[in-house]
Amino acid sequence: MTTAIKLVLASSSPYRRELLKKLGLTFDTANPDIDETPLPDEAPMQTAMRLSLQKAAALAPKFPQHLIIGSDQVAMLKDKPLTKPCSRENTIAQLAAASGNTMHFYTGVCVYDSRNGQHRVNCDHCAVTFRVLSREQIERYVDLDEPFNCAGGFKAESLGIALFERIEGDDPNALIGLPLIKLIRLLEAFGVKVI
């Protein structure tokens, strides 16, 4: 691993922080605190990429000599955006709607050079098809994993994997919140080598 410039992860997410640690890089974290409202008629992939860039750029004044990593995820079910459910009841309702259906996750990632404003952005798409689930299975899962702050209402890195029929995508890390394969390529474009 070689890096001459300091890295910042523009996120307060413990999941993204743990994913980035897998690369063996030294980095700081900071909350970008931006408005994450989608624009009218904006495609989910475009929203994820735009917000990834905005998160990274928002921290540039505080970290003026850094590469800033921004990431954002948009979850969709039947063309309807999903938010973090935040409660047991909402989580159960999201998973009941997902039963036997496919959720789509668009996870954007951006590397922003705060010294000159240069940046690169990419997006990963992952499709998660759910098993047909009974109410009892959903409630048991929710009570065990408590995935209230997770888009889609599950933790794929934990017991949530038991809910799935299949996952289709290039990078399982993207489903958790940070597409590491794409991030590695973006970092390399700025001279940061992971291996």
Q: How far is residue 182 from each of residues 122, 145, 164, 173, 185, measured CA to CA in Å?
A: 7, 28, 24, 10, 5
Catalytic machinery residues: 72
Q: 131-146 burial, b if ≥16 CB within 10 A, otherwise e?
A: eebeeeebbebbeebe
32 touches 59 (CB < 8 A): yes
Q: How many helices (H) and strands (E) does the chain have?
A: 6, 7
Give the sign of the dihedral formed by CA 25, CA 26, CA 29, CA 35.
negative
Residue 70 buriedness (CB in 10 A; 0-12 / 13-18 / 19+): buried
168 touches 90 (CB < 8 A): no
Candidates 8, 31, 2; CA nearest to 112 is 8
